[in-house]
Amino acid sequence: MAATETHQAIEAVFRIERARLIGGLTRVVRDLDRAEELAQDALLMALSEWPKTGVPLNPGAWLMAAAKRRAIDGLRRDKMLARKHSQIAQELDEEIDPVGDIEAAMDDDVGDELLSLIFTACHPILSAEARAALTLRLIGGLTTEEIARAFLSAEPTIAQRIVRAKKTIGNAGLTFEVPRGKERKQRLASVLEVVYLIFNEGYAATAGEDLIRPALCAEAQRLGRILAGLARDEPEVFGLLALMEIQASRLAARTAADGSFVSLTEQNRARWDQFLIRRGLAALERAEALGGAKGPYTLQAALAACHARARKVEDTDWNKIAVLYDTLREAMPSPIVDLNRAVAYSMAFGPEAGLKLVDEIAGVAALRNYAPLPAAKGDFLFRAGRLAEARGQFERAAELTRNDREKAFLLERAEACGS
């Protein structure tokens, strides 16, 4: 094999094995930073060995064994130091042999080392941003520099965020186990929040931006698929996966040839990725079958599915969407959900129904300077034939938006109301 080819193969192996390696090592050395270091050492050993010997038949086991030897060497060294520095060498010798412990732990069938690593990286003691950075680093294998580019942040900021997160986890004395029972639900919510945050960061990327940003969507989908493979009985895992698959199915359709954003109703639906839609619908079905129909992610996925099923905008089942929003606002109260619900009502039951709901939330502080609110209200008024009032709302929305293209669109709509 040519040198570059071997190098590529090693990189591919490492991409496949890295997270599992770090997960397994973390459980043994009980130190995230040390585990990552050991995994990195193992890679360096592979890079020097494999070009000579070829990639071993079971590269994962090779890397684990190499990291394990390093871990044991490290422990022996620590023990030697302890011996030199203390006068109680004899006692130490009689203590339980940590090297033996490590061997035993390594031989355990730690099938969910990856899952435990995900739970650790997404621990609720960390901020959502820290969780996202740590997850992309440990499970996604992204470099600090790549994460910084992906989140439009400075590299030192991200580096510091990761160091602090590891320290926080180290100080908290976590067990690095997959949480069970009551704790699991809360911890899982914390994981799903991070996965969706990563996805949305990628979804928010605009044309012409660094490609690493839209790639975050794929990374989040991969995380979602991994979770779905590891936590097969968790409805919200499938709800989130369904939501991401369906949203991602529209990635190609939401950008016009000139790079501008195309709204859901304007999209060429032939460009939707039907394969992802089918996968999304299947995941949604599973979430519902597991009894999760009222989970926030499953509900959002069900909403996305209503659009995905409509081949033409006119086919959209707005009645069903309105009902789903009724349920969603119970499961996940938010003024944004209320606003979307008003839009759904206007489509299902006419503009007056939308106006009634939008007036109920007009006073909410979070929506005071939120352009979509007057834009929606303007649309309802326009459709109700109250053109002068509609114009005022469109103008207000145009004032609030920071997006030039949207501003132009809203002013056009204001213009269409006459004077």
Residues contributing to the site for another protein (CB under 8 A): 8-9, 11-13, 15-16, 59, 114, 218, 221-226, 228-230, 252, 268-272, 274-275, 277, 279, 311
- In whole angstroms, the minimum distance from the beta carbon of 55 to another protein comes to 8
Q: Is the dihedral of CA 175, 176, 182, 186 positive or negative?
A: positive
Query: Which one, 241 or 301, has the nearer CB to another protein?
Result: 241
Query: Which one, 106 or 276, has the nearer CB to another protein?
Result: 276
- In whole angstroms, the minimum distance from the beta carbon of 396 to another protein comes to 38
**CA atoms of 250 and 413, how far apart (whole Å):** 25
Query: Which one, 140 or 296, has the nearer CB to another protein?
Result: 140
Phi, psi dihedrals of residue 275, rounded to the nearest 5°: -65, -45
- In whole angstroms, the minimum distance from the beta carbon of 130 to another protein comes to 23
Q: For the chain, how many residues are written?
A: 419
Amino acid identity of residue 73, one-letter, is: D
Partner residues linked to 261 by β-bridges? 255
**CA atoms of 91 and 88, how far apart (whole Å):** 5
Partner residues linked to 255 by β-bridges? 261
- In whole angstroms, the minimum distance from the beta carbon of 291 to another protein comes to 22
Query: Which one, 218 or 387, has the nearer CB to another protein?
Result: 218
Q: Is the dihedral of CA 87, 88, 90, 93 positive or negative?
A: negative
- In whole angstroms, the minimum distance from the beta carbon of 228 to another protein comes to 8
Are 117 and 166 in contact by the 8 Å Cβ rule? The answer is no
- In whole angstroms, the minimum distance from the beta carbon of 362 to another protein comes to 40
- In whole angstroms, the minimum distance from the beta carbon of 248 to another protein comes to 11
Are 111 and 90 in contact by the 8 Å Cβ rule? The answer is no
Query: Which one, 116 or 401, has the nearer CB to another protein?
Result: 116
Query: Which one, 156 or 229, has the nearer CB to another protein?
Result: 229
Query: Which one, 45 or 218, has the nearer CB to another protein?
Result: 218
- In whole angstroms, the minimum distance from the beta carbon of 275 to another protein comes to 8
* HSE toward the beta carbon, residue 169, CA cutoff 13 A: 27
Query: Which one, 232 or 405, has the nearer CB to another protein?
Result: 232
**CA atoms of 78 and 144, how far apart (whole Å):** 30
**CA atoms of 389 and 379, how far apart (whole Å):** 10
- In whole angstroms, the minimum distance from the beta carbon of 398 to another protein comes to 32
**CA atoms of 36 and 14, how far apart (whole Å):** 13
Query: Which one, 225 or 356, has the nearer CB to another protein?
Result: 225
Are 398 and 390 in contact by the 8 Å Cβ rule? The answer is no
Task: Please enumerate in sequence order all residues whose Cβ is within 8 A of that of 41, keeping only pairs 6 or more positions apart, or say none.
Answer: 66, 67, 70
**CA atoms of 114 and 144, how far apart (whole Å):** 20
Query: Which one, 7 or 383, has the nearer CB to another protein?
Result: 7
- In whole angstroms, the minimum distance from the beta carbon of 357 to another protein comes to 33
Cα distances (Å, whole numbers) of residue 28 to 24, 32, 41, 45, 141:
7, 10, 16, 20, 20
